[in-house]
Amino acid sequence: MVTTSVSVEQLERTARKLRRHIVKMLAIAGSGHPGGSLSAIDILTALFFGNVMRYDPKNPRWVERDRFILSKGHAVPALYAVLAEAGFIPEDWLWQLRKIDTPMQGHPSVKDIPAVEASTGSLGQGLSIGLGMALAARLDDKPYRVYVMIGDGESEEGQVWEAAMAASHFRVGNLTAILDYNRYQLDGAIGEIMSIEPVVAKWEAFGWAVREIDGHNMKQILEALHWAKEPREQPSIIIAHTVKGKGVSFMENNNEFHGKAPTQAELEQALAELAD
């Protein structure tokens, strides 16, 4: 049973707005990663605006805040969009993405924006950092939870499985991973480059509580995130099946848009498709 004052429809509307932000900031920047940003944005929207995470935009380093780490750092436009929507950064910063002398680094950087919890972009590192934070919460007897979004291609990194093994060994119930399973990596379909299947069985075998969802179904996302908060002595992972480039017809499942910004004409078409 999901108890939230925010309706699914409201969240879907927010996600659509943030999709517009994503394509616009990428078009202005002229480079970046639309595919994996658009596949992740519904989940990020639910995390930040679905009464899941506790945070305070006026005090981004509040000790008891829940932490979110975007381990698949190339999807940073999605993170910046939610940080702006939540009030951590001004919305006009979004149009400075990747520009010199601005805080808007091409991948998440803790040095530039206090609400960014970990510098990422070298794949495979985020879950280990999140595990360290989850252990710190336990040592300090603090109530915060740590969420780490990992990518499917990223899951080919050995460090992800080192962290997975350690997290269940250390019994951290306050750590939740979310797999953005959009089935593509830079060089092509993940099943062809290096399959991570059977991925549910792998995480179960590593001692995690696992739930599989449609990563674009807001109701399912919310239910899974609230399921993850239930007290347990093992870490949890949500395997979210997503569509790369979701929401923009010509980007969906089109891996050309893994790391290519839309042109002005493409932006206009995308914005039209994403209109309220």
Partner 1 sequence: MARPLGEATREAYGKALAELGRENPNIVVLDGDLSKSTMTKYFAQEFPDRFFNVGIAEANMVGMAAGLAASGKIAFASSFACFVMCKAFDQMRLAVAYSGNNVKIVGTHGGISIGEDGVSQMGHEDIGLALSLPGFVVLVPADGAETREAVRAAAEHVGPVYIRVGRPKAPVVYENGCPHFRIGKAITLRDGDDVTLIANGLMVAAALDAAETLAQQGISARVLDMHTVRPLDEEAVEKAARETGAIVVAEEHLLYTGLASQVAMAVAKRYPVPMRFVGLYDYAESGAPDALMRKYGLTAEDIAREAVELVHMRQEAVV
Q: How far is the CB of 43 from partner 1 (least distance, A)?
A: 21
Verify binding: residue 133, partner 1, rule CB under 8 A. yes
Verify binding: residue 165, partner 1, rule CB under 8 A. yes
Total number of residues that touch partner 1 (CB under 8 A): 34
Nearer to partner 1, 62 or 250 (CB): 62
Judge contact between 144 and 179, C-beta under 8 A.
no
Question: CA 126, 244, 104, 31 torsion: positive or negative?
Answer: positive
Nearer to partner 1, 15 or 118 (CB): 118
Judge contact between 58 and 135, C-beta under 8 A.
no
Instruction: Name residue, tokens 């498709």.
Output: 273
Beta strands in 14-159 (DSSP E): 67-70, 146-151
Q: How far is the CB of 163 from partner 1 (least distance, A)?
A: 5
Q: Which stretch binds partner 1 (CB under 8 A): 18-26, 43-51, 125-133, 261-269?
A: 125-133
Interface residue with partner 1 among 170, 186, 197, 249 (CB under 8 A) is 170
Judge contact between 244 and 183, C-beta under 8 A.
yes
Nearer to partner 1, 140 or 268 (CB): 140
Interface residue with partner 1 among 57, 59, 91, 136 (CB under 8 A) is 136
Cβ neighbourhood burial of 12 (10 Å; 0-12, 13-18, 19+): middle
Judge contact between 274 and 255, C-beta under 8 A.
no
Q: Rounded CA gap, 270 and 35, in Å?
A: 13
Verify binding: residue 233, partner 1, rule CB under 8 A. no
Judge contact between 90 and 21, C-beta under 8 A.
no
Verify binding: residue 162, partner 1, rule CB under 8 A. yes
Q: How far is the CB of 129 from partner 1 (least distance, A)?
A: 4
Verify binding: residue 53, partner 1, rule CB under 8 A. no
Q: How far is the CB of 136 from partner 1 (least distance, A)?
A: 3
CA distances from 56 to 108, 209, 220, 223 (A): 19, 29, 26, 23
Verify binding: residue 104, partner 1, rule CB under 8 A. no
Nearer to partner 1, 53 or 118 (CB): 118
Interface residues toward partner 1, by CB under 8 A: 63, 109-111, 117-122, 124-137, 139-140, 158-159, 162-163, 165-166, 169-170
